């Protein structure tokens, strides 16, 4: 069963949440078949609420919470590939006008974003 999230909102109001990946995938397939848009939807598991939402496939950067800390003591997001990290950096630049750099972490072996160019 899908339901409206009361913790997570998108540009058009509360996000629709799915209890498992199969439901989310079915919903994505259905919407992709009838969509008028030029992008595909893809399910992802939400860091915040733990349920599944649908997001634009071209914006899915496969990020997850890592166990690495940033300079202010917060957990950094990690990206499995350099391309994913770069895509997120591009989205942040477009939305917030902030330039971020990507680097491969020697601690976890994944990719992170940073404000500082190494």
Residue numbers of the site for Zn ion (CB under 5 A)? 8, 46, 48-49, 66, 68, 105, 107-108
CB nearer to Zn ion: pick between 35 and 107: 107
Residue burial 37-52, b: 16+ Cβ < 10 Å; e: rest: eeeebbbbebeeeebb
Q: What is the Cα–Cα distance from 49 to 114, expressed in whole angstroms?
A: 25
CB nearer to Zn ion: pick between 62 and 97: 62
CB nearer to Zn ion: pick between 43 and 87: 43
The distance of closest approach from Cβ of residue 102 to Zn ion in the complex, given in angstroms and rounded to an integer, is: 12
The distance of closest approach from Cβ of residue 69 to Zn ion in the complex, given in angstroms and rounded to an integer, is: 9
Q: List, in sequence order, every residue forming a beta bridge with 14; answer none if it has no partner.
A: 9
Chain centroid offset of residue 102 CA: 16
The distance of closest approach from Cβ of residue 47 to Zn ion in the complex, given in angstroms and rounded to an integer, is: 7
């Amino acid at each position: 069963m899908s339901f409206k999230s009361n913790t997570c909102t998108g540009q058009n109001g509360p996000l629709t949440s799915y209890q498992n990946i199969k439901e989310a995938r079915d919903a994505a397939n259905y919407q992709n078949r009838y969509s008028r848009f030029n992008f595909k939807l893809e399910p992802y598991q939400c860091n915040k609420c733990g349920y599944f939402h649908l997001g634009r496939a071209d914006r899915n950067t496969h990020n997850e919470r890592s166990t690495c800390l940033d300079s202010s003591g917060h957990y950094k997001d990690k990206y499995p590939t350099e391309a994913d990290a770069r895509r997120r950096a591009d989205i942040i630049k477009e939305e917030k006008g902030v330039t971020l750099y990507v680097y491969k972490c020697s601690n976890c072996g994944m990719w992170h974003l940073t404000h500082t160019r190494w």
